């Protein structure tokens, strides 16, 4: 797939984006859920080697294909790795799956109800390397914990600032200002978030597009104005801590949004499974998430 093909694939949205980008802080938890205990690896290199084995098993599975999955988000070490000797981005595009790269370096301490992204030293070099490896786009995450107008404005401004750097390298940015589903003021805060994002979208040069990755909103279709905005290629949803069934039910209520799930995709997969058992469990998860992404329940 060339860049134009990948843009068309994402725009059509006939599937979902698999989030395979667990990083240092979330990897041990993901491994435990997969049945790999902390004492089965020693040090960061072994930890990442074990999570890479899991990701390769997922990508290698016949259930993981472009029929239902339009994209996959990778951690940097995964992008640099290989599946059976083939560079991971190439292994994905061979299956019709568009590769993205997680570029943020984690979160700052909370201030004004939000957590901004930490500085990203070496970002320009990373973006150049990603482009050379055939990666289509990037993803960057910050977190909103409270309906603080000033904090939300700062998050959105930072997201678009980094997004413009990504665009300058010919890559498609996924901007992810995650609103915590545990926040008690989400309805009010999601209105603030929508307003801030729309202002920045309206200021983009004509013809320029970004993607958005957002928490599933309290009110169905609360982000429909973003789905319909000409500066947005696609709006994708994170599961945000919901179990798969609940995340899929919420997603199905939001027209035009597709999934970009991580934990909701990996739940039920286990290192001790036979290949047949693993493929069956993965296929069940993919079917459910694909259905919620493409078949909506709202009238």
The contacts of residue 237 (CB under 8 Å, 6+ apart) are 213, 214, 215, 216, 247, 250, 251, 254, 257, 258, 259, 260, 261
User: Do 147 and 192 touch, CB atoms closer than 8 A?
Assistant: yes
Question: Tokens representing 90?
Answer: 């190439």
d(CA 130, CA 179) in angstroms, rounded, equals: 28
User: Do 31 and 54 touch, CB atoms closer than 8 A?
Assistant: yes
213 is catalytic: yes
Catalytic residue among 176, 190, 196, 250: 176
d(CA 225, CA 109) in angstroms, rounded, equals: 31
Catalytic residue among 102, 139, 213, 234: 213
d(CA 183, CA 144) in angstroms, rounded, equals: 9
Question: Tokens representing 192?
Answer: 């603030």
Give catalytic residues, as residue numbers.
Answer: 176, 213
């Amino acid at each position: 797939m060339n860049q134009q093909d990948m843009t068309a694939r994402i725009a059509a949205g006939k599937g979902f984006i698999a989030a395979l980008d667990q990083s240092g802080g979330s990897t041990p938890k993901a491994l435990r859920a997969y049945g790999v205990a902390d004492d089965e690896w020693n040090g960061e290199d072994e930890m990442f080697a074990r999570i890479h084995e899991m990701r390769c098993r997922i990508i290698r599975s016949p259930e993981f294909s472009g029929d239902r999955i339009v994209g996959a988000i990778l951690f940097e070490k995964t992008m640099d790795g290989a599946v059976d000797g083939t560079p991971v981005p190439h292994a994905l595009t061979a299956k019709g799956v568009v590769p993205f790269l997680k570029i943020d370096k984690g979160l700052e301490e909370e201030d004004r109800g939000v957590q901004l992204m930490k500085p990203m030293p070496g970002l320009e070099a990373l973006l150049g390397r990603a482009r050379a490896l055939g990666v289509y786009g990037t993803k960057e995450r910050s977190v909103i914990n409270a309906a603080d107008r000033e904090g939300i404005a700062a998050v959105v401004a930072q997201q678009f600032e980094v997004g413009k750097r990504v665009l300058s390298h010919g890559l498609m940015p996924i901007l992810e200002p995650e609103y915590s589903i545990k926040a008690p003021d989400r309805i009010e805060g999601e209105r603030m978030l929508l307003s801030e994002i729309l202002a920045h979208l309206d200021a983009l040069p004509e013809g320029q597009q970004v993607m958005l990755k957002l928490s599933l909103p309290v009110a169905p279709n609360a982000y429909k104005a973003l789905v319909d905005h000409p500066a947005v290629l696609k709006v994708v949803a994170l599961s945000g801590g919901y179990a798969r069934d609940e995340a899929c039910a919420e997603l199905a209520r939001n027209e035009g949004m597709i999934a970009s799930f991580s934990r909701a995709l990996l739940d039920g997969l286990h290192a001790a499974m036979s290949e047949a058992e693993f493929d069956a469990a993965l296929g069940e998860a993919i079917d459910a998430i694909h259905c919620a992404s493409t078949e909506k329940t709202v009238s």
